[in-house]
Structure 1
Amino acid sequence: MAHYLSDGIVLRTYKLGETDRILHVLDPNRGKVRCVAKGVRKPGSRFGGRLEPYGHVHLQLYEGRSLDTITAAELIEAHEGVRADWVASACAATMAEACDHLAQEGERATAMFLLLKDALGVLAAGPERPAAVLDAFLMRLAVLEGFRPSLDACTTCGSTDDIASFAVGSGGVLCSRDTPAGLQRLAPDVHAGLRLVTEGSWAEVARGTEPLPRSVGALVRAYLTYHLATDLRAWAAVPRGAGT
């Protein structure tokens, strides 16, 4: 069995037997790595608290048939503040669940790793709008997966005039002429919010005492669910209120 090194982010952990724990780690070069930390739940474990969710870790592992085994672990960034704050933790859990769902074992995931690393760093800094950081992460993840929404030109005719709605199934905005009856009109502040979470800088997304319209988060969720075929369970715990 071959030994190898992994520099990744812990996406999730769950118990195995009485003392072990299984981890899913997002590695930029190997994609999702499923591994086991033996004895990690014993008092005085050599791994200590270095293998917690959302932590950026440097691991030494050896390959197994179904699970690789962690033999050494070094903590690079704990993101303890993210886990300690329930709003930030809910956002991070949703991000990690999305990556766990989309990352493939044995396939390079450098862009996804860097996106998650950046988003966790923004959450750790205590943003004014943590839910907006989550929305931005998810829309950018959709872009990485090949589903960039059209926000400036009608997806049917290409017109940039008289934008009236956002059609999830069509992949972006529609003009008045192509908006079907019954589709909710796109308010200017919602349109601006979609642009912000898709294209704005992390600083622009994170700051601001006013929350984004609730419709922005709802459209992000609908868009991700439709195009990436996943409805994230952790999403239900993310609050949508003042400052988020």
Structure 2
Amino acid sequence: MPTYRDEVVVLRTHKLGEADRIVTALGRRSGKIRAVAKGVRRTSSRLGARLEPFMVADVQFSRGRSLDIVQQAESLGSYGADISQHYDRYTAAHAMVEAADRLNDPEAATAHYLLLVGGLRALARGDHAARSILDSYLLRAMALAGWAPGLVECARCGAPAPHDQFVAQLGGVVCAACAPTGAARIDPATIGLLTALMAGEWEIVDAASAHSAGAASGLIAAYAQWHLERGIRSLQHVEAAR
């Protein structure tokens, strides 16, 4: 049976039978992987702790017909314990891995993997507000998938800035002529914050007002869920944690 190795971040797990688990992971080279980890729910298993959500591991798999099989796993990053001790980090991490599960682009697998690992590491260390880390991750992940929001020119007609309306369905900020009735208003400070979140300019992000942070989070959530076509269920718990 052919085998392969990859660095992975565990997205989610499901019970299988009495002692096994199905592990869904994002591989650095392979993209999304679904594999069976046999016997990991037994108390004697050392493998189980290395294959929990938010963990990063070097894993050897054997290829199967529908699901691959986990043969070995070595821990590379134990972020789950630190994340799970803080509700805001825990809910943000769940929203991140749920989005990563949806954004399965094999051509950008390495970039998606590195982005997610960096976000989980920042959450575990508490480098910035959990919601800001999540917002930055969602914007960058959408950009990697080819859905970067337009934040300068009108996303529909290309009219030059400034614009003060944001429409997720049209791709970002839009001019008054393109904006439908009831389009969300966006002030310059919030546009600046969205740009900083996209670029990873953390001094600007950390100094943003609560009003701008809340407005940006709402727009990012609407934008991501529109393009993913299904809601990110974990986001409802992130909102409750704010």
Q: Same fold (TM over 0.5)?
A: yes
Query: Cα–Cα, structure 1 residues 92 and 179, in superposed 2: closer, same or farther, change >3 Å?
Result: same
Count of aligned residue pairs for this structure pair: 240
When structure 1 is superposed on structure 2, of 14-23 and 168-177 the one drifting more is: 168-177
- Asked if structure 2 preserves the Cα contact closer than 8 Å seen for 1:155 and 1:170, the reply is yes
Percent pairwise identity: 35
Deviation at 1:155, TM superposition (A): 2.5
Question: Structure 2: 5+ residue runs without aligned partners?
Answer: none
Matched with 1:96 is 97
Task: Name structure 1 gaps, 5 residues minimum.
Answer: none
Give the deviation of 1:162 after TM superposition: 3.7
Q: TM-score under structure 2 normalisation?
A: 0.90
Q: Structure 1, residues 76-104: CA drift from partner, whole Å, max 9, x if none?
A: 10102112222111111111011112226
Structure 2 residue aligned with 1:84: 85
Structure holding more helix per residue: 2
Aligned partner of 2:111: which letter?
A
Matches within 5 A, 1:16-31: 16-31=16-31
RMSD (CA atoms)? 2.1
**Matches of residues 61-210 of structure 1 in structure 2 within 5 Å?**
61-79=61-79, 80-103=81-104, 109-201=109-201, 203-204=202-203, 207-208=206-207, 210=209
Deviation digits for residues 9-51 of structure 1, max 9, x if unmatched?
Answer: 0010111111111101100211111011111111111315111
The amino acid that maps onto 1:183 is: A
CA deviation profile, 1:101-141 (whole Å, cap 9, x unmatched)? 2226x766111101101111111121341101101101111
2:125 maps to a residue whose letter is A
CA contact 1:136–1:205 (8 Å) conserved in 2: no
Alignment CA distance shift 1:132-1:17 (3 Å): same
Where in structure 1 do 4 or more consecutive aligned residues deviate above 3 Å?
A: 176-181, 203-213
Aligned to 2:230: 230
Partner-residue secondary structure (3-state), 1:100: helix
Aligned 8 A contact 1:166 1:172 in 2: yes
